[in-house]
Structure 1
């Protein structure tokens, strides 16, 4: 199998952490591509017509894309229980919350990176950060007991989302007023799977 990836994408990191946590890291070849929203890599478009990463090219089936699909496939392949049936919908909702944080955080980067400076909308950027902030508050008030339970895809997604905020939006100080979530993240970030997938740039 081949995993198409680009840069420090939190969605790619979620897949990489899942590969580590399910002992499948060495079963996948990692291929670097360009994932610009303006000029995506032809190889990426061939694998995923939407032109987004990650994409998992399989040897025995169609290419899978979207981190949620890929992680679900990898968990099923390894039978590691990252989508526990007993709390399946809670887990999926926490994963979706993490993905929402990632999506808004990435869109802020895109707004600043790909728009001409005179057309960057600070109002739009603040609107995206408001989504992040509301999601963090929801996790802090509703999901801490889940995060302190057995590891599942919700844990992996949230850890990758929070680490991406540190990486790209550290000046926003997401930890302020969210001590319990910050403490949880510090513990999860020390896992070997997180250390091994820290972005370089």
Structure 2
């Protein structure tokens, strides 16, 4: 399998953490992917018209895009159970994944607004709105953290990658001081070999 990959993408990191946890990482051939909202990578676009990472090309040529889809495929392939079967637990896990992904979407949109757009094109109100979403996501992780324990599922992986991305791109917000339960949970989860192996720095 081939994975269009960017080391700093938190969505790629979700896939890589999942692959490490399932023992599938050696089956992935990592292809460099320079996904960009303006300067699109033709190599990715040739496989995925949205030009995004992660994009996974299966051995039979099938293309899967979006970390949610790819992680669920890997979980099925590796028999991990990171996505619960049909029932209340599944909806709870998927809702948590959506919250973590939503935090990441807001963080990435903030990065694009402040780093890709020219200074005269930037909208402080837009950035403020995305920051509010980040804070909302952090509050949700804070509320969930006491119940996460040592679980390893798609909720925990997404939360972990979201908090790790904040450390990478938003160190100035000092989230640990305001969300101590999330900070304590993340300190343990971030020590997992899968998280250490996928550090973006």
TM-score class, shorter-chain normalisation, is over 0.9
TM-score relative to the length of structure 2: 0.95
Q: Deviations over 1:92-111 (max 9, x none)?
A: 11111110111110111100
User: 1:124 aligns to what?
Assistant: 126
Residue 5 (structure 1) shift:
1.4
Find the counterpart in structure 1 of residue 115 from structure 2: 113
Given the two structures, how large is their TM-score scaled by the length of structure 1?
Answer: 0.95
Q: In the TM superposition, what whole-angstrom CA distance separates every residue of 1:63-121 from its partner, at most 9, and x where no partner exists?
A: 00000000000000011100122611111111111101111101111001111112211
- Structure 1 segments of 4+ aligned residues over 3 angstroms from their partners: none
Q: Note the residue ranges of structure 2 that are not aligned, 5 or more in a row.
A: none
Unaligned runs of 5+ in 1: none
Q: Distance in 1 between matches of 2:179 and 2:34?
A: 35
Counterparts of 2:14 and 2:182 in 1: how far apart (Å)? 18
1:29-48 alignment runs, 5 A limit = 29-48=29-48
Asked whether the 8 Å contact 2:3–2:54 carries over to 1, the reply is: yes
Equivalence for 2:71: 71
d(CA) in 2 for partners of 1:11 and 1:33? Answer: 13
| Shift, 1:145, TM fit | 4.2
| Secondary structure in 2 matching 1:37 | coil
1:138 aligns with 2:125: no
Aligned to 2:198: 197
Q: Are residues 172 and 27 of structure 1, via their aligned partners in 2, closer, same or farther at CA, if it must alter by over 3 Å?
A: same
What is the aligned-residue RMSD (CA, Å)? 1.2
1:24 match: 24
